[in-house]
Structures are given as structure tokens and as C-alpha cells.
A and B are shown apart, each in its own frame.
Chain A
Amino acid sequence: QSVLTQPPSVSAAPEQKVTISCSGSSSNIGNNFVSWYQQLPGTAPKLLIYDNNKRPSGIPDRFSGSKSGTSATLGITGLQTGDEADYYCGTWDSSLSTGVFGGGTKLTVL
């Protein structure tokens, strides 16, 4: 049981847009910044978004992040087959004094 809640799977057609939600509480998302990671099959996770909505160098602007209250959302536009991956949200939990991740969302590009 993950501290952060994500839908197990989402799907959309190529060139369409998809959003992935991440729900937490006041001790984690509500008072800390959220990051998002992409994990392609058989590879290590890769940072996609940090501090709720910032993109590291090299991450295309098709990827965006937002936060409202105790929830965060990852958006991906112009879907490509290469975007098929598992996506994880993460943040710090101030009550537990630990890092926490969502359970992950598998994106399928139909």
C-alpha cells in the first residue's frame, strides 16, 4: 500500500493527451514539492518533473506537471509510442521523515 495513490493504468491514442493523477495528504504533497519519474521497460527511473512543474534539461515540453492541494498531475501531450512506460510520483513526507512514491501508473499508447 503506497502512501501516494496513482491509477494503475491509463491509455490513449498516439498524438492525444493523457493525464496521470497522484493523490496524497497534507503531510506529503500538501506541504512539499512533487517530482515525477518515467521508467521505460528494463531501465532505471528517469526524472521528468521536479518541484511540481519544472523540467530538467532535455525533457521535452510535452511533459508538464501541476499541483493543487494534496494532489498532483502529470500531463503528456502529443503521445508517442516511445512514451509507453511506468510513471511514478514522489515527494517527501514530513510526518514520516521519509521519501514516498506512488504505486506507479502504466501508460499504454494504443
Chain B
Amino acid sequence: ETGVTQTPRHLVMGMTNKKSLKCEQHLGHNAMYWYKQSAKKPLELMFVYNFKEQTENNSVPSRFSPECPNSSHLFLHLHTLQPEDSALYLCASSRGGGSRGGYTFGSGTRLTVV
């Protein structure tokens, strides 16, 4: 494990379901991110939290709702998703606050919407 843990690893949900993805980091990082990774597309940044405050929302549909209760935990609440939302959802963390350093990624949640 890299210090960033995502659960569940796999999720299959119907279009009318409500589910949540969880991300947890124990690296002392202050910034956390949600990325969507679809086949043959670049990593798409969805949300950025810096010191628990949301600083980026890249035109993500409202059926995705993030929550960051503290610097160590990040959630992505899902409801009424579409089949095209099926993808790998990656959480990442970094030191944040303007300091250099790469991301540490979680293993991702493979989401399938049926």
C-alpha cells in the first residue's frame, strides 16, 4: 500500500442506486483529489480539496458529490449515474499548500454502471 487507500475496489451499481466511494490517506498530506480514468482518455481531474476546502470543480455533473470531512478522508457520493460514468475512479493526495511533490495515488475503484 502507498498510504492512500480506496474502498471499495470494485463497484457495480444500477442507475437508480446511491453509493459512496471512500479514500483515506495517512501520509500527512493536505490536498486530496478525485480523478476519473476512462479507456483511451487522459486522467480527468474532477475535484480538488486543499486543507479540506474545495478549490476545484471541473464542470463535474451534480450526480457526483464530493465530501472532505478532514484532510485524511475524501468521499465521492454517487447517485443516478449513467452507463458512461463507468470508469476507474482514482483518489490521490499530495502535500498541497504550494509545495512541490508528486501525487500518491490510491488503487482506484472500478465502477460499472448497469
Do A and B assemble together?
no
Measuring CB to CB, which residues of chain B are less than 8 angstroms from any residue of chain A? Answer: none
Measuring CB to CB, which residues of chain A are less than 8 angstroms from any residue of chain B? Answer: none
